[in-house]
Amino acid sequence: MPIKKVMVIGAGQMGAGIAQVTAQAGFEVLLNDMNEAALEKGMNNMNKLLTRAAEKERITENEKEQTLGRLTASSALEDAKDCDLVIEAIVENMEVKTKVFRELDEIAPAHAILATNTSSLPITEIAAATNRPEQVIGMHFMNPVPVMKLVEVIRGIQTSDETYEAIAGMTEDLNKTSVEVADFPGFAANRILMPMINEAIYTVYEGVASPEDIDTVMKLGMNHPMGPLTLADFIGLDTCLYIMEVLYEGFGDSKYRPCPLLRKYVKAGWLGKKSGRGFYEYN
Ligand code: NAI
């Protein structure tokens, strides 16, 4: 059955971005959040981003109005009852996610696909909480969603070819590029990125070079648009540590051990840009 109506659950940083690009691509979208204030903030953010895009003539005023017309706020999970696809983007916690997937399994029509934007939790385990594991899949968008082109499409062990094809196709409709990834810790993006960031932190820890110089090495030497320590501050050092722990535990391999300096910064509350201090200081 073609995907027409989509519910995005979680109106935070990722959910609002996913809802926006989905509505821009012509789908009817419900943005759901259990927190009224978060829902209002998510809807307002989308409005602001679309208004700015129209002002800068990246989209027409008409496109903006049509996109807004396809977006509806929802505070009840029951609204998923006539959706063809649900994309979950709530807190990164297995217990909370499986509870929502169990409820969705009861509410959503039998043909509906249930996708998760998790950045680290096993798709296979989330799928096992439902009676339709073949219709559960990972759709890992990158932040900020309206800007970043990549979506990792992650197959759980029971995800069907039909589900994979529907989601890979839909991702192209969103004007994104999808890559097919198997369900292993960190998927592909974070498995490659996070050990690089962790190694950059070890390089500071061992006194090899300063954070500024390490970022310069990677920018000017490797042509990265942003140095790894600047990027770590932007992602949040707590998030970086959490993902390293997922890799370390998931593979049981010491090559993924988080750098002690990363642990120390997180304990100090130096979480990067969001807390005002990480490897750099922010006003
Ligand atoms: P966020 O904290 O900005 O937003 C989460 C939203 O979910 C909040 O508004 C909260 O009220 C809502 N929520 C929580 N439980 C809910 C429930 N049971 N029902 C309805 N709404 C609920 O989080 P963010 O950063 O948007 O992350 C969401 C997901 O996306 C996580 O799984 C995260 O790992 C993943 N992700 C995050 C990226 C990032 O850079 N922030 C990048 C890629 C994936």
Digitized pLDDT (tens) for each residue of the chain, 283 residues in all: 899 999 999 999 899 999 999 999 999 999 999 999 999 999 999 999 999 999 999 999 999 999 999 999 999 999 999 999 999 999 989 999 999 999 999 999 999 999 999 999 999 999 999 999 999 999 999 999 999 999 999 999 999 999 999 999 999 999 999 999 999 999 999 999 999 999 999 999 999 999 999 999 999 999 999 999 999 999 999 999 999 999 999 999 999 999 999 999 999 999 999 999 999 999 8
Which residue has its alpha carbon closest to ligand 1 atom 29?
A: 89
260-268 and 189-205 are packed helices; what angle lies between their axes, rounded to 10 degrees?
90
C-alpha closest to that of 114 among 133, 93, 141, 92: 133
Strand partners, 155: 137, 182
Whether 190 sits among the annotated catalytic residues: the reply is: yes
Q: Is 50 in contact with 68 (CB distance < 8 Å)? A: yes
Strand partners, 8: 31, 87
The ligand 1 atom nearest the CA atom of 97: 18
Q: Residue 198, SS3? A: helix
Domains, the chain, ordered by start: 5-182 (3.40.50.720), 190-274 (1.10.1040.10)
Tally: H helices and E strands in the chain? 12, 8
Whether 152 sits among the annotated catalytic residues: the reply is: yes
Ligand 1 centre and the CA of 47: distance in Å? 19
Instruction: Label residue 91 exposed, middle or buried (CB < 10 Å: 0-12, 13-18, 19+).
Output: exposed
The overall average pLDDT reported for the chain is 97
